[in-house]
Amino acid sequence: MLKRLQDLFRYFNGAVPFRLVPALIATAVLVTLLLLPCPAGLTPKAWGLVAIFLTTIVAIILKVMPIGVMAMMAIVIVSLSQVTSTSSKGAITDALSSFASPLIWLIVVAILISRGLKKTGLGSRIGLMFIALLGKRTLGVGYGLAVCELVLAPFTPSNTARGGIVHPVMRSIANAFDSDPAKGTEGKVGTYLALVNYHANPITSAMFLTATAPNPLVVDYVAKATGQQFHLTWTTWALCMLVPGLVCLLLMPLVIYLLSPPQLKATPNAVDYARAELARMGPLAPKEKVMMGTFGLLLVLWANVPAMLFGPAWTLDPTVVAFLGLFVLIITGTIDWDDVLSEKSAWDTLVWFGALVMMAEQLNKLGVIGWFSEGMKGAIVASGMGWEAIAAVLVLAFVFSHYLFASTTAHISAMLLAFLGVGALLIPAEYVVPFMLMMTAGSAIMMTLTHYATGTSPIIFGSGYVSLGTWWRVGFVMCVFELVVFAVVGGAWWKVLGYW
C-alpha cells in the first residue's frame, strides 16, 4: 500500500506543472488560516484577504510555480472569493485595479528603456568604462555603483526612476564579465553587483528629502506628530542623515561581499581588457548618442529641473517622463516595437508586482492595516514597558511590517502617523526628536526587505541575478545592520547636532 502511494505521488509530482509538496504546504496554510476564528476588529472578508495574501507569499517563497503564476493565482482567488466586493464583477475590478497604477507602469517602462542600453551597445561601453576605472577588484566596481546612486539621489525624486538609470549600467558591467543568468553564470559578479545596486537605493533614499516620493509625506507626519515643533527641511534632513547614511554606504558593499561573495574577486586583467574593448568600439555611434540624450532628458525631467526653473506648472509625473523616454527611443529607431514585445521581464513584472500591490492596497482598504496599528498601540500602552523599549518596538514593528506592503508610499500613508503619535505620547520629550529621526530613516530602510518592497526591487530582482532566498536573507541582514548603524552612529551624530 505504501509503495502504491509512493508511486502515485511520484506520478503526480512528475505530471503536474508545479512542485507538489510546496503546493500542498501552501494549500495547508490557506486552509488553516481560513479555519481560524476571525480576529476581533476584522470582518470575515478582511481576514480572508489576509489568508490569501499570506498564502501567496508562502507559495512564492516555496517556489510552487513561477512568481507570475502565483500572482495570477492570487488574482483568481480574490476574484472568486469576492473578499473585496459583493459581486464577482466588483471583485475582478478590484483584483485588476493596480494594473492602472502609474508606479507599476513606471517600473515596466524603465525596464523597457534599459533594453536600449543593451541593443545600442552604450550599456557595454559604460560598463567597460567602470571596469577600466575601478575593475581591478569586484569590490571596487560595487563602490562605483554606490557612488553613482549617491550622486543621483538628491536630484531624482523617484527611487524607482533612479533604479532605472543605474541598473542597466550594472547589468552591462556584469555582462562584460560574462556573468549572465541566462548562461547560469550570474554568480561570477552579477549577483553581488545586483545586491549592491539595490541596497544602495534604500540608503540614498534615506539620505535626502528629494530622493524618493513618500519622503515629503514623512516630513508632514513628523511635523503633525510633534505639534509642529520639529520640521524637517531639505537641509535639516540631509544634515541629520549625512553621517549615518555615509557610514552605511561605506560598509554596505563590504557586508554584502561577506554575505554573497562573488566568484570573481580579483580581476587583474580586467582593466587592460576594458581599455582594449573600448578602443575596438571606437567613437560613439549615432544610436548611442540618442540613448545618451534620452537618458539626459529623463534625468533632467525626473530631477524636476523645469519646475525649479519655471515654476510648478512644469512638473511632470515620473511615469509620464518614462513613457516620453520610451517613445523617443521608438520613434528614433533606437529600439523597435518587437524589442518592446520581447522584453519578457517587463511583462512578467507587470503581472506579479501588480497582484502584490493590489492585495496590499486592499488590505489597507478593508481596515487590516489600521486594525494592526491600533492593536500595536494598545499592546504597547498596556505593557508597561520603559520608553527605550517602546521606541525600539515602534521602530521595529513599523519597519518589519513592510513585509505586508508592496509600496513604501502606501505603508507610510497607512501606519506612520499612528506610530509617530504613540511615540510622541510615550517617549520623554528630550528624546522625541531622535525617535522621529529613527522612524524617518526606517521609512526608507524597510525597502531592503523583500523583492516587492518598492518600485526598484522588481526591476533588479526581475533581471534574474539574485535568487529569492538570497534576496530575502541579505535583505533582512542589511535591514538590521542599517538600523543599528542609524541608531548608534546616527544617535551620536544627532547628539553632536544638539537634537537630544
Contact, 242 vs 467, CB < 8 A?
no
DSSP 295-332: HHHHHHHHTTHHHHHH-GGG---HHHHHHHHHHHHHHT
Q: Calculate the CA 157 to chain-centre distance.
A: 15
d(CA 406, CA 362): 11
d(CA 466, CA 448): 14
d(CA 366, CA 358): 12
pLDDT at residue number 472: 95
pLDDT at residue number 11: 64
Alpha-carbon distance values, 19 to 24, 26, 54, 68, 77 (Å): 9, 11, 18, 15, 19
Burial class (CB in 10 A: 0-12, 13-18, 19+), 467: middle
Contact, 106 vs 319, CB < 8 A?
yes
d(CA 387, CA 391): 6
Segment 352-371 shows an average pLDDT of 83
Least confident of 20-29, 148-157, 243-252, 345-354: 148-157
Contact, 199 vs 470, CB < 8 A?
no
Segment 362-377 shows an average pLDDT of 81
pLDDT at residue number 13: 63
Task: Report long-range pairs for 346-351 (Cβ below 8 Å, ≥24 apart).
Answer: 346/108, 346/109, 346/111, 346/112, 346/462, 347/108, 348/66, 348/67, 348/68, 348/462, 349/107, 349/108, 349/111, 349/458, 349/459, 349/462, 350/99, 350/104, 350/105, 350/107, 350/108, 351/68, 351/71, 351/72
Segment 219-233 shows an average pLDDT of 85
Q: pLDDT tens digit string along 285-330?
A: 999 999 989 988 887 887 778 888 898 898 888 888 889 999 999 9
Q: pLDDT tens digit string along 384-418?
A: 788 899 999 999 999 999 988 877 877 887 778 88
Q: Which residue has the cell 540618442?
A: 290
Residue 9's pLDDT band (cuts 50, 70, 90): low
Q: pLDDT tens digit string along 483-498?
A: 999 999 999 999 999 9
pLDDT at residue number 155: 67
pLDDT at 152 over 90: no
pLDDT at residue number 1: 66
- Closest to 211 measured CA to CA, from 267, 157, 292: 157
Q: Which residue has the cell 526653473?
A: 309
pLDDT at 431 over 70: yes
Q: pLDDT tens digit string along 414-430?
A: 778 888 888 888 899 99
Contact, 362 vs 81, CB < 8 A?
no
Domain parsing of the chain, residue ranges: 2-95, 102-210+261-342, 350-496
Q: pLDDT tens digit string along 165-193?
A: 788 888 888 888 888 898 999 999 999 99
Q: pLDDT tens digit string along 12-61?
A: 666 667 788 888 999 999 999 999 999 998 999 999 999 998 898 888 77
